[in-house]
Amino acid sequence: MTQRLNGIAEQKKGDVGMERQRRAKFEFKGIKGLIIFIVLACMLLCYYFYLSNRLNPSKTGEEAEKLTAVQEVLLRNMETDYPPTPKEVIKYYSELTQTFYNEKLTDEQIEQLGARARELYDEELNEYNTDEKYIPNLREDIEDFNQHSIKISSYTLPASTEVEYYTEEGRECARIYCTYHIRQGKDMTYSREIFVLRRAENGRWKILGWDLVKED
């Protein structure tokens, strides 16, 4: 009887030991699975960031700002978003002018910006100032500004009510002033110019010419 009880006790101890082993094995598998899941999740996140950086390379600092300035001024669709008024034409032309002289441009960018400016010119002005003359002269002006560290810091346009409209030789024309604030090193000055625009047959206002306003 005593031996039987001892055998039962030993069997129970064995059953308890096996149960503990099963639990320990189950817990080990659970921890191992959790670790594998975390590792896989980290790998997926790293791969996601790798693809994001590869597909969307980011430019930092001064270079990104320069590219943005050029791209932004050329972003306008001239077919669907042409400046509707004389003031808006000169405003956009002044934005192009700032980009000419404030940014370090490649030859291709100078040609792109120059072509955009010529889209604002009257056909008569374009005939007089052909592309073969305009682009080389523009390059020289830009180089001169860069050599003397001259920048156009801002510009000022009058109110729309101050634009003067008149008719000449049966064509609608407009006259508007624009003041450019110019910085050279620490020195500040300004240049006041008067623009003459003429409405084309398609209804768009085009720049016919401009001149420096002589101060008394």
Domain boundaries, the chain: 65-212
Cα separation, 200 vs 122, whole angstroms: 8
Res 103 pLDDT > 50 = yes
H/E run at residue 134? helix 131-147
Name the phi and psi angles at 212, rounded to 5: -75, 130
Where residue 214 falls among pLDDT bands split at 50, 70, 90? confident
The model's pLDDT over 35-70, given as tens digits with 9 standing for 90+, comes to 665 656 666 665 555 555 555 555 444 544 545 688
The string of pLDDT tens digits covering residues 10-25 is 554 455 455 555 554 5
Report the pLDDT value the prediction gives residue 43, as an integer from 0 to 100.
67
Q: How many CA atoms lie within 13 A of 17 on its CB side?
A: 6
pLDDT digits (tens, 9 = 90+) for 153-169: 999 999 999 999 999 99
- The rounded mean pLDDT for the chain is 82
Q: Check: pTM over 0.85? Answer yes or no.
A: no
Are 56 and 178 in contact by the 8 Å Cβ rule? The answer is no
Tokens of residue 51, six digits = 């693809």
Cα distances from 55 to residues 11, 46, 50, 58, 64, in angstroms, run 65, 14, 9, 9, 17
Choose between 5 and 63: higher pLDDT. 63
Statement: 65-212 belongs to CATH 3.40.50.2300: no
133 band by pLDDT with thresholds 50, 70 and 90: very high
